[in-house]
Amino acid sequence: MDGPERTQEMTDVQAKAEASKCLFCFDAPCQTDCPVGIDAPGFIRRILQQNVQGAYHLIHRENPLPWICGILCPTERLCASRCPRKLMDHAIDIGRLQAYASIDKAQAKISKPSRGTLGNRVAVVGTGPAGLTAISCLARNGFQVVVYEAEGRAGGLITYGIPPYKIDKRRAIQEIENILDQPGISVHLRTRVPDPNELLKEHVAVFVATGIGGEMLDRSVAKFKNVYRATEFLKTLNRTHLQGRPFKRDLGPEVLVIGGGSTALNAAVSIRLLGSPNVTVIYRRTETEMPAWRHEITTARKCGVNFRFLLEPSSFIGDEGKVSHVVFRQTELGELGADGRRKVLARRGKKVEIAASSVILGTGREKRNGLRWLKREKVDESTGRLEGANIFLGGELLRGAGLIVQAVADGKKAAHEIEMLLRGRI
């Protein structure tokens, strides 16, 4: 599956040419704006000096998923957003330079030194970007790390949520395995943890980064066989891709994708690349308010995805267990709400009925069911620690859906907090 994303590798000549454009700013905004604090001018200088190994080590010191983040980070809103080079021509392509410096390490197993085992066992539940980062940091600092993952493969969102057109899954999985192959780590796949409090009987601390649930489905909608959650669609697509099997689900000629975030657009582009002739993204605000990144919207348009705005689903029409049409109410934008976004208001006028062979819901996601042990009012938002227990939260479970690199930052912070907590016992 191919798509016009940031997956084209830089050649040595291209990387050196791009690196030569860096102004090597004092107090560089690119480092300040990186959630994990990567020294971008530092690693770019090393690329320019043809010290790619040194560039990699400088990146990896702050981020154990350097190639994955180099490919997937929305640099236009992060490290490159305030690049002074934009005043001359364009911002430095920091993401692709980071991927260039990391690609050899992402596809080859490498040994990583450890400080030795301290004897303290720490459990990590979930192997998405936050969990993987915590695992790497804790193991590097000498802890014994016991990993619990509900799926058959590690990686969480990276493995099951990001579609194949966006990233080379083989290289991504290798970078993930590089982390889990470190000394002092034991991994238990296909293992669910109903209550992390139980793990405290055999572990001195627990980090939980299991993500959040899928899109919310009303009962009146869930009865239709051709209405799918975007997260579940992407998980099925990724599973078949990883197994080397073709995706056989027939979505029909008129697919509606409801929602304006990255997950919705990932699903829409994937469906279009699978061959569905008409894929339409429908969003209740305007394109300007879409949560998806600008490059994702551009990619969707290049792939032939259609867009319709200021429409909100009102009802689903169908029989024999299948939707045939979706009725939308027209909307307009009001004043700013408490979340800083303009409120969505119903507009007077005729409702809009649109035919659909399948519907993908990429709207709001619900907190994962089954976390009866978790009382959110007792979570310290600054540290992620659960009051009265050596349990820490991170990633989507702590802050909701967000960026992979922010989840990496959460994993780093959790590992640091756990180390500080246990330092008296070491």
283-312: burial string, b at 16+ Cβ within 10 Å, e else: bbbeeeebbbbeebbebbeebebebebbbb
**Contact criterion met (CB below 8 Å) for 156 and 194:** no
pLDDT-derived band at 371 (thresholds 50, 70, 90) equals low
Q: Is the pLDDT of residue 119 over 70?
A: no
Q: What is the pLDDT of residues 4-38, one digit of tens each?
A: 455 678 999 999 999 999 999 999 999 999 999 99
Q: What is the pLDDT of residue 114?
A: 52
Triad 416, 411, 393: Cα angle to 5°: 95
**Contact criterion met (CB below 8 Å) for 31 and 41:** yes
**Contact criterion met (CB below 8 Å) for 353 and 298:** no
**Which of the two residues, 426 and 350, has the higher pLDDT score?**
350
| 73 Rama class: left (phi>0) / alpha (psi -120 to 50) / beta | beta
Structure tokens of 235?
């998980």
Q: What is the pLDDT of residue 426?
A: 42
First to last CA, the chain: 49
Q: What is the pLDDT of residue 3?
A: 45
Distance CA 18, CA 47 (A): 10
What separation in angstroms does the CA of 123 have from each of 183, 297, 395? 15, 39, 16
- Residue 388 contacts by C-beta under 8 Å, 6 or more apart in sequence? 378
Q: What is the pLDDT of residues 125-152, one digit of tens each?
A: 999 999 999 999 999 999 999 999 999 9
Q: Is the pLDDT of residue 422 over 90?
A: no
Mean pLDDT, residues 355-361 taken together:
97
- Nearest C-alpha neighbor of 213 from the set 267, 260, 131, 150: 150
Q: Is the pLDDT of residue 1 over 50?
A: no
Q: Is the pLDDT of residue 373 over 70?
A: no
Collapsing DSSP to helix, strand or coil, 329 comes out as strand
Q: What is the pLDDT of residue 366?
A: 59
Task: Dihedral sign for Cα 80, 85, 89, 93, please.
Answer: negative
339 burial (CB, 10 Å; 0-12 / 13-18 / 19+) is: exposed
- Nearest C-alpha neighbor of 269 from the set 259, 281, 258: 281
pLDDT-derived band at 117 (thresholds 50, 70, 90) equals low
Mean pLDDT, residues 262-274 taken together:
96
CA 419 to chain CA centroid, Å, is 26
Q: What is the pLDDT of residue 130?
A: 96
Mean pLDDT, residues 377-385 taken together:
82
**Per-residue DSSP letter, 157:** I
pLDDT-derived band at 376 (thresholds 50, 70, 90) equals low
Q: Is the pLDDT of residue 76 over 60?
A: yes
Distance CA 222, CA 321 (A): 10
Distance CA 142, CA 116 (A): 5
Mean pLDDT, residues 275-304 taken together:
95
**Contact criterion met (CB below 8 Å) for 135 and 127:** yes
- Nearest C-alpha neighbor of 352 from the set 305, 286, 308: 308
- Residue 96 contacts by C-beta under 8 Å, 6 or more apart in sequence? 6, 8, 10, 18, 70
Structural domains in the chain plus CATH codes: 12-106 (1.10.1060.10), 121-213+367-425 (3.50.50.60), 219-361 (3.50.50.60)
Q: Is the pLDDT of residue 214 over 80?
A: no
Structure tokens of 365?
């996601």
Q: Is the pLDDT of residue 250 over 60?
A: yes
Q: What is the pLDDT of residues 217-230, one digit of tens each?
A: 777 788 899 999 99
Residues in the chain: 426
Compute the mean pLDDT over every residue in the chain, rounded to the nearest whole number.
Answer: 90
Beta strands in 195-288 (DSSP E): 205-208, 227-229, 254-258, 278-283
